[in-house]
Amino acid sequence: MSQIEISQKEKPLIRISVRHLVEFLEKEGDLDNRQGSVDMDAMQLGAKIHRKIQKSMGSHYTPEVSLKETFSFDAFELSLEGRADGIFTEDGEIWVDEIKGISKDIASIEAPAHEHLSQAKCYAYIYGRQSEYEKIGVQMTYCQMETEEIRRFTEMYAFQELEDWMKGLLKRYEKWALFRIDHEEERNESIKGLEFPYDYREGQRDVAVSVYRSIAQEKRLFIQAPTGVGKTMATLFPAVKATGEGKGEKIFYLTAKTVTRTVATSAATLLMEQGLRYKTIALTAKEKICLMEECECNPDNCPYAKGHFDRINDAVYDGITTLEVVSREVLEEHAKKWKVCPFELGLDISLWFDLIVCDYNYVFDPNAHLKRFFGEGVSGDYIFLIDEAHNLVERARSMYSSELVKEDVLKIRRKVKDDVKLYRVLDGCNKKLLSLRKECEDYQVLPNANDLYLTVTKLLLEMDRYLEDHRNEKIEDEILEFYFNIRNFLYIYEHLDEDYLIYSEVLKEGSFKVHLFCVNPARMLESYLSKGRATIFFSATFLPIYYYKELLNQDKEAYAIYVNSPFDRSKRLLLQGMDVSTKYSKRGPAMYRKYAQYIIQVAASYAGNYLAFFPSYQFMNAVYEEFKELVSDEVEYALQSSFMSEESREIFLENFEEVRENSFIGFCVMGGIFSEGIDLVEDKLVGAIVIGTGIPQIGRERGLLQEYFDQNGRRGFDYAYLYPGMNKVQQSAGRVIRTEADRGVILLLDERFGRREYQDIFPREWQDIKPCRLEDVTKQLEEFWEGETS
């Protein structure tokens, strides 16, 4: 939101944009998400409308005028900057023009929005102060995006009136600026004496030094470091030290799973117990933190939404001055105290905090990112710490892809048939899709979808108008979901380049879609990464590193480090089964039975808890049926189902907490909820049986990925199948040996693991892998366990 710069001889300088100052101080009234309004300024259509209006104003009109002014306070200087849409003269008078695109009926605008007018008055004051005008006019120009109808509101202000108003606005901001200055001074002083909270493990110091150096040099770093190195503290500690030295304004600790967010918050809390003053917040998804039974953000259905903006700043100020570590529970209680939306409260508080722990989508997803930090024209001196970053490849592909399904258009058309205009536009969209459907037998790669884009643009404007007309009514979830989907479709289409494929496809059930498929998400990620100072990507499974560097980053100067495992290899037995395969051509009852026999022999060799990971539910169930016929009553077991509730997951994991005399085996799917992000230390888990190479099933998009990378000089099969599959294998194997006290066995059961292309991307610590067969595996297992227990 704002930045502080401190010169050795001058007062601190705070920089803030006019838009953010006004949005922060002048927003009022209810929180109401029924309007479905789009920030059209950020879309191509909005930009075109702006330019068209500006050109129509004639030679006396100067568009896009940059304005900047510094205001002096007792304790700091405030630099206020922005850009007026236009400044013009008329009959000897000077006017500042502010243009806003709207979707609702132009006749419904009876007066300028308070927030919009305040923004224009700021520009008028700055321009008047610099040009020494005694009076200056403000013109608010509203343009209906579809019809291009214009309505203007004008008012002439004496400069003294604008100055008095501006002084009042800045006075309201003063306490916030003083808080920020005082807190940063206190924070930085506490960082000076901060020590690493543990004795460094092997490799941990190297990680910390590399992270600090990358931040200081404003670089990007990829870290391949196995479990046990202590990556969370080794990345967070140097980042905190860097911010204390002015090498970063704020840390974003980004994760893919809730459990790793908890680990990051715990690490920050540990440092704070040593005296660090570092305000930390963990953000929670709106649906999870909502205080109502149904998440309906409007004043008619939620008391926390009614008058939200009238109370939110007081709630935020109370929060930032009294709270240090803000968890979901703390945020919920604070929201109840002030009767504001807890989700929006968390976002607003995060503006003033030092460490923000959140999911990837808060930074990278165009539909969910924090516009306060990453919106158009916003950037900062941020440090990004991206945990388990191997997950970001597929997550980013999903974030930056979009599809439009013909049957969804028909479904919404039926729901809004009473609205003639919207019905007509939906009908036109359906006809465009029908035309594409007739050209597509199975699937078809398209050079473009320009006609469809223009139709969907009209549809979005009509949907905006429809939502505005029904803003005081309950809108069906399906209509809102469709609205957000087409908005996303347009956003993605406007960002298409060579890293995308457009294809149409007839789906199995007969429906038809047009898909904008992001093949390489690196460029889209770059638009957000470039808003920060430095980025640290880290994972225990980052092999091969060049694959992840290419798909997550465009900085050719980004470098990587490999950290060796700190654990004693003698406490871990790694075997590869040479006589089994998950290849489709070799599947059948005999092979399923062989895998079942392997699992039984592992369980019989030493009493303990084991996880068996499979390439698919189908394969798992086939082996499971054979297993049940062969296994003795002494061995206990449980099966992961395809749709498990949180309660079911907890029950499954509780099996590993029980003390039992015999073995327990959990049957799981690779890449699923139990193959990553769970910590079963010491005797809670003594073995992992990884069945198959994890290669994704052959499908439309995998084939397109392979073809794309082949055409771009890469080994398409490796990029589409091998590397994602082996990541799942490494993640599954990584459930064993989590601490120095752990001991255990890992079996990789597939003949393909013996091939060079697979072994080339094994971690270094897998160099001691030993071959085995069903007839000798028991002997190798028993010899290992005898050595461990003697």
Q: Would residue 181 count as lying in a domain?
A: no
User: Does residue 18 have a pLDDT over 60?
Assistant: yes
Query: What's the whole-number mean pLDDT along residues 683-690?
Result: 94
pLDDT tens by residue, 64-118: 999 999 999 999 999 999 999 999 998 889 999 999 888 778 888 889 989 999 9
In whole angstroms, what is the distance from residue 468 CA to residue 302 CA?
19
User: Is residue 62 within a helix (H) or strand (E), and if so which, with residue range?
Assistant: strand 61-72
Q: What angle do CA 292, 344, 240 make, to 5 degrees?
A: 130
Residue type, 164: D
Q: Are residues 53 and 130 in the same domain?
A: yes
At residue 37 the predicted structure's pLDDT band, cuts being 50, 70 and 90, is very low
At residue 738 the predicted structure's pLDDT band, cuts being 50, 70 and 90, is confident
Q: Are residues 274 and 327 in the same domain?
A: no
Q: Would residue 768 count as lying in a domain?
A: yes
Q: Are residues 137 and 202 in the same domain?
A: no
What beta strand segments (E) does 640-781 contain? Answer: 664-669, 687-691, 744-749, 770-772
Residue 91, domain CATH? 3.90.320.10
Query: What's the whole-number mean pLDDT along residues 733-752?
Result: 92
Q: What is the pLDDT of residue 109?
A: 87
Percent of the chain with pLDDT over 70: 96
Tokens 């439009």 found at: 404
Q: Which two tokens stand for residue 479?
A: 């209509």
Q: What is the pLDDT of residue 376?
A: 65
Mean of the per-residue pLDDT values of the chain: 91
pLDDT tens by residue, 513-570: 999 999 999 999 998 999 899 999 999 999 999 999 999 999 999 999 999 888 888 9
Structural domain tally of the chain?
5
Q: What is the pLDDT of residue 378?
A: 63
Q: Would residue 481 count as lying in a domain?
A: yes
Residues near 170 by beta carbon (within 8 Å), at least 6 away in sequence: 71, 73, 78
Q: What is the pLDDT of residue 477?
A: 86
At residue 2 the predicted structure's pLDDT band, cuts being 50, 70 and 90, is low
pLDDT tens by residue, 453-469: 999 999 998 998 898 88
Query: What's the whole-number mean pLDDT along residues 337-353?
Result: 94
Of 130, 131, 124, which is closest to residue 155 (Cα–Cα)?
124
Q: What is the pLDDT of residue 38?
A: 44
Q: Are 82 and 124 contacting, i.e. CB atoms less than 8 angstroms apart?
A: no
Q: Compute φ and ψ for 758, nearest 5 degrees.
A: -80, -45
User: Does residue 762 have a pLDDT over 70?
Assistant: yes
At residue 9 the predicted structure's pLDDT band, cuts being 50, 70 and 90, is very low
Q: What is the pLDDT of residue 375?
A: 67
Q: Are residues 373 and 422 in the same domain?
A: no
Q: Are residues 667 and 731 in the same domain?
A: yes
Q: Are residues 361 and 496 in the same domain?
A: no
Q: Would residue 488 count as lying in a domain?
A: yes
Q: Would residue 183 count as lying in a domain?
A: no
Instruction: Give Cα 776 distance to the centre of its chain.
Output: 47
Of 340, 510, 523, which is closest to residue 410 (Cα–Cα)?
510
Q: Are residues 363 and 393 in the same domain?
A: yes
Q: How many other CB atoms are found less than 10 A from the CB of residue 64?
A: 12
Query: What's the whole-number mean pLDDT along residues 348-374?
Result: 88
Q: What is the pLDDT of residue 658?
A: 87
Query: What's the whole-number mean pLDDT along residues 369-378?
Result: 71
Q: Are residues 578 and 684 in the same domain?
A: yes
Residue 426, domain CATH? 1.10.275.40
Q: Are residues 31 and 140 in the same domain?
A: yes
Q: Would residue 251 count as lying in a domain?
A: yes
First vs last C-alpha separation in the chain: 62
Q: What is the pLDDT of residue 48?
A: 74
Of 535, 565, 566, which is closest to residue 552 (Cα–Cα)?
535
At residue 202 the predicted structure's pLDDT band, cuts being 50, 70 and 90, is confident
Q: Are residues 585 and 550 in the same domain?
A: no
Helix%, strand%, coil% for the chain, nearest 5: 45, 20, 35
User: Does residue 284 have a pLDDT over 80?
Assistant: yes
User: Does residue 145 have a pLDDT over 90?
Assistant: no
Residue 639, domain CATH? 3.40.50.300
In whole angstroms, what is the distance from residue 743 CA to residue 314 CA?
53
Task: For 296-359, give the DSSP string.
Answer: --STTT-TTTTTHHHHHHHHHHHHHHH-SEE-HHHHHHHHHHHTS-HHHHHHHHHTT-SEEEEE
In whole angstroms, what is the distance from residue 56 CA to residue 86 CA?
12
Q: Are 42 and 376 contacting, i.e. CB atoms less than 8 angstroms apart?
A: yes
Look up the pTM and report it.
Answer: 0.91
* Segments forming the whole domain that contains residue 541: 193-278+355-399+522-562
Q: Would residue 603 count as lying in a domain?
A: yes
Q: Are residues 716 and 596 in the same domain?
A: yes
Of 237, 261, 71, 98, which is closest to residue 166 (Cα–Cα)?
71
Of 535, 562, 589, the position where a domain reaches its end is 562
Q: Are residues 641 and 728 in the same domain?
A: yes
Q: Would residue 187 count as lying in a domain?
A: no
Cα 734 to Cα 492, 563, 677, 695, 697: the distances in Å are 36, 15, 10, 17, 23
Query: What's the whole-number mean pLDDT along residues 180-189?
Result: 95
At residue 34 the predicted structure's pLDDT band, cuts being 50, 70 and 90, is low
Q: What is the pLDDT of residue 41?
A: 41
